[in-house]
Amino acid sequence: MMSLPTTDRNRLQQDLDALSAITEPGIPWTRRSFTPMFLEGRRHLEERFRAEGLSTEIDAAGNLVGRWQGEDPSLPVLMTGSHSDTVPSGGRFDGIAGIVCGLAAIGALRAAGYRPRHTIELVDFLAEEPSEWGLSCIGSRGMAGALGPEHLAMKGPDNEALADAIRRVGGAPEEIRQHRRTDIGGFVEIHIEQGPVLERLGIPVGIVTAIAGIARLRIRIEGEAAHAGTAPMTMRADAGVAMASLVLALRDAARAVEGQGHFTATVGIIRFEPGGANVVPGSAEVIVDIRAESDQAMDDFLVLAEKLASQSAAKENCRVAVLEKLSRTFAVACDPSLRAAIADSAGELNLQTLPLASGAGHDAAFVAQIAPAAMIFVPSRDGKSHTPEEWTDTEALALAADLLTRMLVRLDQRPETPRHP
């Protein structure tokens, strides 16, 4: 193997600074998808892609695709990238890390005079974060052919249909279905961890095992509203207390899930009715967010949650009025051969790695429907993400870019890049 170039640290820093500086004034670091600020970021990226020798296009689903033509057009495409849109205030590294690392790796290879056999593509996926249209991962869904008419009809600000919004950023929504990609030999996404594990363990590289499945449950417990001063403690049907005990029971049950990988259950919304300081709650409602690396663990927990809800309600003379599954996605395993290639490349660089699951959703989960896909995580300071304090050291990103450089060469020089079944 040729001696491989390392990442230009200064250039990487400049790319990070330049892209993150394109933010809504007053609310750093914000570039919401489909906004003028987002499009300004895209224009900047397009220039940078071209400066690194990539040809650029907006595909049917509105993704910005930079392309480095390989010597053998019959070989499948090797793809990397992430997203340049952000949540409000939380986009200094979330998303753009994967794009600037991709640019750095391609820049290093080109500077070294490398000529790839496979075409290499760097992608800025459209609208990975939940958008004003109520949908996330719009571009990667589209690339996978999973963006249907029901999605395209969803309405956003000013009643604009998602199809029109995609057209506005340069896509061709009517052609998304026929442009479902079938030519991708492998996809690797670099992303910040958005959690505390790598930093706590002092490990620079996370190799993602799977992207967790997510279920959301709406649970409503009903009791009887009463006067807080006159209803004796022994003669109540307090839906608030019943719900409080359910929240604790769910927490304990989630902690007790063992040996099935990453598992979390969170109550982030709770509402008591009628909601007066001097009123015993007559009803209480929560939304439970459950994330699991194992679909079996998720199935088991959903059954258990129902039992715990009945028990918590019964203890307080209340009843479960609603237990509704609002949504459910299944876990997506990362491709084993790509994971091994990441581990081998990290070994060459003497970088310690840790296998870990992603509790957050990512574009890679959709790309995995059409190609072998994998993810590399880099440490997040204090595990913070989706806040202005989100931080990852440039050197950590540069190491990930070094790893990506090796990984691309490794995949490019494999005798045969297996096509996805």
Sites of contact with Zn ion (CB under 5 A): 94-95
Torsion of CA 230, 236, 241, 245, to 10 degrees: 150
Rank residues 94 and 124 by Cβ distance to Zn ion and give the closer one: 94
Cα(24)–Cα(234) distance, integer angstroms: 55
Which residues neighbour 149 within 8 Å (Cβ) at sequence distance 6 or greater? none
Q: Residue 90: what residue type? A: G
CB of 199 to Zn ion, least distance (A): 17
Print burial letters for 246-272: b (CB count within 10 Å at least 16), e (below 16). Answer: bbebbeebbeebeeebbbbbebeeeeb
CB of 97 to Zn ion, least distance (A): 8
Rank residues 308 and 365 by Cβ distance to Zn ion and give the closer one: 365
Alpha helices by DSSP H, listed for 277-325, are: 295-315
Rank residues 97 and 239 by Cβ distance to Zn ion and give the closer one: 97
Rank residues 94 and 390 by Cβ distance to Zn ion and give the closer one: 94
CB of 142 to Zn ion, least distance (A): 17
CB of 198 to Zn ion, least distance (A): 16
- Check if the beta carbon of residue 101 is closer than 8 Å to that of residue 190: yes
Cα(271)–Cα(417) distance, integer angstroms: 52
- Check if the beta carbon of residue 211 is closer than 8 Å to that of residue 366: no
Rank residues 109 and 211 by Cβ distance to Zn ion and give the closer one: 211
CB of 211 to Zn ion, least distance (A): 12
Phi, then psi, of 72 in degrees rounded to 5: -115, 100
The radius of gyration of the chain's CA atoms, rounded to the nearest angstrom, is 24
Q: Residue 370: what residue type? A: I
CB of 42 to Zn ion, least distance (A): 16
Report the relative pairing of strands 263-273 and 283-292 from DSSP bridges. antiparallel
Rank residues 83 and 118 by Cβ distance to Zn ion and give the closer one: 83
Rank residues 94 and 293 by Cβ distance to Zn ion and give the closer one: 94
Residue 402 CB-density burial (10 A; 0-12 exposed, 13-18 middle, 19+ buried):
buried
Rank residues 95 and 372 by Cβ distance to Zn ion and give the closer one: 95
Query: How many Å from the N-terminal Cα to the C-terminal Cα in the chain?
Result: 29
- Check if the beta carbon of residue 204 is closer than 8 Å to that of residue 351: yes
CB of 85 to Zn ion, least distance (A): 9
Cα(63)–Cα(42) distance, integer angstroms: 10
CB of 374 to Zn ion, least distance (A): 16
CB of 22 to Zn ion, least distance (A): 17
Q: Residue 246: what residue type? A: L
Cα(265)–Cα(59) distance, integer angstroms: 37
Rank residues 140 and 312 by Cβ distance to Zn ion and give the closer one: 140
